[in-house]
Structure 1
Amino acid sequence: MTSLDHLRDTILAMPIAATLQLRFVQLAPGHVEIEMPILPSLCFRQGQLQATAIFAIADFAAVAAAATLLPSGGSNATIDGTVKLFAPARGTHLRAIGRVVDQGRQLSVCAAEVYAIDGEERTHCATLLATARNHLPSTLGPAPA
């Protein structure tokens, strides 16, 4: 199993990822694309997704993009994020495209663009900018006994 496969499997094993029915479309170093259906249970109006679900898919895409650049055994977690919503999220599903803005040793800045998909129509509905705290594997070896 590659580290990218491990990352995908780790994310999809999270209960919230299952609730959102996330699906990876693309996964490459520094780039992640994730989709999720627009479910009635996540809408505040008929067919219009609630902002929390939009933030969630954007966060998963952005922070996962940063995680793809970590060394084997590394992980990360969101410590800050801002989402700007500028169009209703209506359609059949969302696609979030995550990328890395700046990869540091301790912190990574990452972003995601979120699109609502309805047939051939694609509406850019949100942008997220986030910071992830990186947890790198120890290079010092095992602790002394």
Structure 2
Amino acid sequence: MRDIRQLVTECFTAQGLMHTLGTRLVSVDPGEVHIALTPSPALTQQNGFVHAGALTTILDSACGYAAMTVAPDGYNVLTVEFKVNLLRPALADEFLAIGKVVKAGRTLTVCTAEVIGTRDGETKTIALMQATIANVALQA
């Protein structure tokens, strides 16, 4: 039986963009992954909000890693489609992307994710994603 926490942690650590954004892998459970992002000036757009691209990246990664936790042995995952709803400006002291598997199939897995922002002790949903993730056989 594979260790999903170790597998996701190794993949997360190997992903350069996660390091560039300053993200942290918070938790890994079967069908659910949490990724944190602390905002910095380097991640903002012209109005001082965290850029939608940074939020979309952590949403996509949370979905992908959630799908990875339920993928068959010998398979990796790739996003094939997603939709994002940006619900409010991304102003927070900390962001948490929570990715969850909705339905895992042999070939495709459907996931949802939300980014929750915490500011002055108050939490609000900032963005939502629905994603389709493909199981791809690893190359020998």
Q: TM-score, normalising length from structure 2?
A: 0.90
Asked if structure 2 preserves the Cα contact closer than 8 Å seen for 1:71 and 1:136, the reply is: no
Aligned pair count reads 139
Q: Superposition pairs for residues 1-145 of structure 1, below 5 Å? A: 2-45=3-46, 47-136=48-137
Amino acid at match of 2:84: V
Q: Deviations over 1:44-101 (max 9, x none)?
A: 1464101111100100111111110013332101111110001111112210111011
Amino acid at match of 1:121: E
Identity of aligned residues (%): 32
**Distance in 1 of aligned mates of 2:37 and 2:13:** 12
Moved more, 1-10 or 50-59: 1-10
- Counterpart of 2:18 in 1: which secondary structure? helix
Q: RMSD value over aligned CA atoms?
A: 1.9
Moved more, 40-49 or 91-100: 40-49
**Distance in 2 of aligned mates of 1:109 and 1:55:** 16
- Cα displacement (A) at 1:107: 0.8
| Runs of 4+ with >4 A deviation | none
**Distance in 1 of aligned mates of 2:26 and 2:15:** 18
**Distance in 2 of aligned mates of 1:74 and 1:7:** 13
- Cα displacement (A) at 1:37: 0.9
Asked if structure 1 preserves the Cα contact closer than 8 Å seen for 2:8 and 2:28, the reply is: no
Moved more, 103-112 or 39-48: 39-48
Structure of larger gyration radius = 1
Asked if structure 2 preserves the Cα contact closer than 8 Å seen for 1:12 and 1:22, the reply is: no
| Structure 1, unaligned runs of 5 or more | none
Asked if structure 1 preserves the Cα contact closer than 8 Å seen for 2:4 and 2:30, the reply is: no
Q: TM-score, normalising length from structure 1?
A: 0.88
**Distance in 1 of aligned mates of 2:72 and 2:14:** 21
Asked if structure 1 preserves the Cα contact closer than 8 Å seen for 2:66 and 2:101, the reply is: yes
**Distance in 2 of aligned mates of 1:79 and 1:71:** 17
Asked if structure 1 preserves the Cα contact closer than 8 Å seen for 2:97 and 2:115, the reply is: yes
Amino acid at match of 2:89: P
| Structure 2, unaligned runs of 5 or more | none
